[in-house]
Amino acid sequence: MQLAIVVNEGPYTHQASDTAYHFTKAALEKGHGITRVFFYHDGVNNGTRLTVPPQDDRNLQKLWSELGEKHGLDMVVCIAAAQRRGILDADEARRHGKDASNIAAGFRISGLGQLIEAGIEADRLVVFGD
């Protein structure tokens, strides 16, 4: 089965990001395909490379990046939600006159069209968070 995943909550404000990560990992281990993981609303905060959680806490950004690299996941951060929260890739940073980018490895910034496309291509669209 092909699944598309939507993560609407940040990594440390709600259980949704943890649950989405573990669901995605389990689905891949069971042989399901992941069309795309789309991070929307506060979920875009999973894609910043500047988080520094305490040593005894989980690092969801790192976990997502490692899972994405291992399985070749297409992990898309919504451009509008990311810009509102100060998450930029190199192109967007230049376009807006900022001196740095902070998108994490394995994530890319794109628009809502990527969410629509994933929903069309997947057998199921699974949403985590409000």
Q: What is the pLDDT of residues 23-82, one digit of tens each?
A: 999 999 999 999 999 999 999 999 999 999 999 899 999 999 999 999 999 999 999 999
The confidence score (pLDDT) of residue 47 equals 97
- For the beta sheet containing 124-128, the strands, ordered from the edge strand earlier in sequence to the opposite edge, are 107-110, 75-78, 33-39, 2-7, 124-128
Given pLDDT bands bounded at 50, 70 and 90, which one contains residue 13? confident
16-29 helix and 60-71 helix, angle to the nearest 10 degrees: 20
Summarised one tens digit per residue, pLDDT across range 87-114 is 999 999 999 999 999 999 999 999 999 9
What topology does CATH give the domain 2-128? Hypothetical Protein Ychn; Chain: A, (3.40.1260)
- List the catalytic residues: 78
Question: Which pLDDT value is given to residue 78?
Answer: 98
Geometric angle at alpha carbon 118, from 10 and 93, rounded to 5°: 55
What pLDDT score does 116 carry? 97
Secondary structure (DSSP) of 23-80: HHHHHHHTT-EEEEEEE-GGGGGGGBTT----TTS--HHHHHHHHHHHHT--EEEEHH
pTM (2 d.p.): 0.96
Domain residue spans of the chain: 2-128
DSSP state of 85: T
